[in-house]
Amino acid sequence: MSRSLILVTGGAGFIGSNIVLELANTGARVVVCDLLRSAEKWRNLAAARVHDVIRPDALREWLARHSHQMEAVVHMGAISSTMETDVDRFVATNIRLTLDLWRWCADHSGRFIYASSAATYGDGSAGFSDQQHPDALAALRPLNPYGWSKNLVDQRVISDVVRGEPTAPQWAGLKFFNVYGPNEGHKGVMRSLVSKIYPAVEAGEPVTLFKSHNPRYPDGGQLRDFVYVKDCVAVVMWLLRNPEKSGLFNVGTGIARSFLDLVNAVSAAVGRPPNIRFIETPAALRAQYQYFTQADIAKLRLAGFTAPFHSLEDGVQDYLASVSP
């Protein structure tokens, strides 16, 4: 029986559904593992030709029945809220499930691509280099349980690789930076800033941004590496086409842009002048607040990914064109 199935966990979510749509467009036999519940999340999959859909609680039994058909696991499922305070949820979903899939792929020769995060870098004081040395990963200090859970998985994967433990024939941990794009509406408060401010800009209302509480950055001058979800999908597809490529890889544009740049990009896409109001950053968020993120993508380029990334302006224009009536 040929290995022809690609499992995408979190396949109805933001990044996951965009991966599913692209895989389905290539004719791949895609299996989605996710919780859809009673909201509108299912619409993220409406345009995709999906081979099967399974619930996470049925995953173990489903894998046992289809082990010889599995080509790859693309693991995007996670608790991604930086506001979540129940750390046991991160342990169960982000750590335990990921490491169980890591071990399953090693035992069954399945390729394994999983979502890490730029949140592993914390405040950025240790840099944003996707080094794979155990000491470099151990030196990172994430600011929240989400980043901690992702870094713990990265450390375990690299430890297994360094120690010569059994691993997947291809493996990749993708450290996504600030992703925006279609199919993120279900994320609520964890939506990208593009998604959050678009309705206000379109209505001609003021956009609310947090003031800076760091003297090195003016209000609105906080910097992020904003990456369009289509570019994240392009990296995943490149990995699937190149099974000899493995490693931890940053996924960002490599260029930090300010929040003011982002508001200007959305305003330009909508055709309205920017209108910004600054408010105090909530005290509870200040200790976890990142003022600068910028992906070092030299390693990804050296590995052979040569496709250009969308500029902030081009990505926002493309995104908003897909959601405008």
Catalytic residue among 187, 230, 245, 299: 187
Which stretches within the chain are classed as H helix? Answer: 14-25, 59-66, 87-89, 98-108, 134-138, 145-163, 193-203, 229-241, 259-270, 283-286, 298-303, 312-323
Active site residue 196: no
Contact 211, 217 (CB under 8 A): no
Active site residue 146: yes
CA distance 257 to 240: 30
Catalytic residue among 114, 146, 198, 319: 146
Eight-class DSSP state of 9: E
What is the DSSP pairing of strand 111-117 with strand 70-75?
Answer: parallel
Type of residue numbered 157: V
CA distance 114 to 6: 13
φ, ψ dihedrals at 180, nearest 5°: -135, 160
Q: Which two tokens stand for residue 33?
A: 């593992």
Eight-class DSSP state of 57: G
DSSP 222-268: -EE-EEEHHHHHHHHHHHHH-TT--EEEEES-S--EEHHHHHHHHHH
Q: Which residue has the tokens 């155990």?
A: 134
Please list the active-site residues.
146, 187
